[in-house]
Amino acid sequence: MNVSIITVTLNCEETIQRTIESVLCQTYRSFEYIIQDGGSSDRTIDIIESYADVFKDRGLAFRCYIEKDQGIYDAMNRAVLKASGEWVNFMNSGDQFYSSETLALVFSASITPNSMVLYGNTITVLPWGEKLIRAKVLNEIRNRMIFCHQSSFTQTCLLRKFPFDLKYKICSDFHFFRKVYIEGKGFHYYNQVISIYDGDAGFSAQSSLDYLKEVGSIREFSQLRISIQIWIKKLELVIKKNLNEGIVLFLRRCKHDVLNSRLLS
């Protein structure tokens, strides 16, 4: 088994089906699919279990585990311990692979020797349209997350050696990738779209403030610097709150259309 695809769920009845379908349609077959559910109380588990025979009929390994956890990163750590693939991809519920050929393209290409993290680009789906998010230059990973974790594949042994730190509720993936980069582990970039990310699920106002706190802590900022960043963000949120939501969406759509206009290419 070459790849373990992991999806963490908790009450995801509206989104889990498109993620499962995205996994099922992959032409590359050397993978297993693991769903780690935190004890959903809606129809999520029923939907997941309805696919068991579909995977079996196609000769694909599929397992679902239902157990309480301490949050998404704890669930991801638990699933990694059950993975049998050499590589792990975390595909959130609602997100999907870019095409049916995604895994085949990634694992048919040559990989830089000693690479332990493979990563690529992402399409983000927003209320005003789709946006291509290209991975940033690698050394920027000291400062921020340079790719979506849905668009990456990490060696299982590395995830077991450095499990996600549960101290971070939002940015533990950034903390992990930053740590292994500083440790000197190899990264390999594919200049292709790996996943489609549901950007409409976005952060709440409070989550965006928590995000700043966690990133500041990971980068070992002073408390003063973190406080200033949070104050600026709060001001930004107040301004946005007092603007008509329709105007905000219109302006974002205009920006999207201008940036994607062929006249500017």
pLDDT single digits (tens) 119-129: 999 999 988 78
pLDDT tens digits along 188-233: 999 999 999 988 765 544 577 788 889 888 998 787 777 777 666 6
How is residue 113 annotated by DSSP? T
In the numeric block, which tokens belong to residue 171? Answer: 């940015």
pLDDT tens digits along 24-58: 999 999 999 999 999 999 999 999 999 999 999 99
Quickly count: other Cβ atoms within 10 Å of residue 79's Cβ. Answer: 22
Residue 138 has φ and ψ, to the nearest 5°, of -60, -40
Q: Which stretches of 101-155 are DSSP H helices?
A: 102-108
Q: How far apart are CA 130 and CA 204, in angstroms?
A: 20
Q: Are 33 and 26 in contact (CB under 8 A)?
A: no
Higher pLDDT, 55 or 264: 55
Q: How far apart are CA 200 and CA 259, in angstroms?
A: 19
Surface-to-core class of residue 109, CB atoms within 10 Å of its CB (0-12 exposed, 13-18 middle, 19+ buried) = exposed
pLDDT tens digits along 83-139: 999 999 999 999 999 999 999 999 998 888 899 999 999 999 988 789 999 999 999
Identify which of 126, 124, 94 has the alpha carbon closest to the alpha carbon of residue 249: 126
**The predicted structure's pLDDT at residue 249:** 65
**The predicted structure's pLDDT at residue 265:** 40
Q: Which stretches of the chain are DSSP H helices?
A: 16-24, 44-49, 52-57, 72-82, 102-108, 156-161, 172-182, 205-218, 223-241, 245-259
Beta bridge partners of 9: 37
Higher pLDDT, 226 or 81: 81
Q: How far apart are CA 60 and CA 221, in angstroms?
A: 46
Please name the residue that has the structure tokens 């409409």: 200
pLDDT bin (cut points 50, 70, 90) of residue 262 is very low
pLDDT for 163 beyond 60: yes
How is residue 213 annotated by DSSP? H
User: Cα 259 to the chain's mean position, in Å?
Assistant: 24
Higher pLDDT, 67 or 230: 67
Report the half-sphere exposure of 23 (CA within 13 A, side-chain side).
32
The residue-averaged pLDDT of 148-167 equals 98
**The predicted structure's pLDDT at residue 204:** 45
**The predicted structure's pLDDT at residue 245:** 62
Give residue limits of the domains in the chain.
Answer: 3-201, 221-264
Residue 87 has φ and ψ, to the nearest 5°, of -120, 150
User: Cα 62 to the chain's mean position, in Å?
Assistant: 20
Domain 3-201 CATH assignment equals 2.40.50.1020: no
Q: How far apart are CA 98 and CA 106, in angstroms?
A: 12
The mean pLDDT value of the chain amounts to 89
Q: How far apart are CA 201 and CA 126, in angstroms?
A: 9
**The predicted structure's pLDDT at residue 260:** 56
Distances in Å between the alpha carbon of 145 and those of 174, 211, 250?
Answer: 5, 12, 28
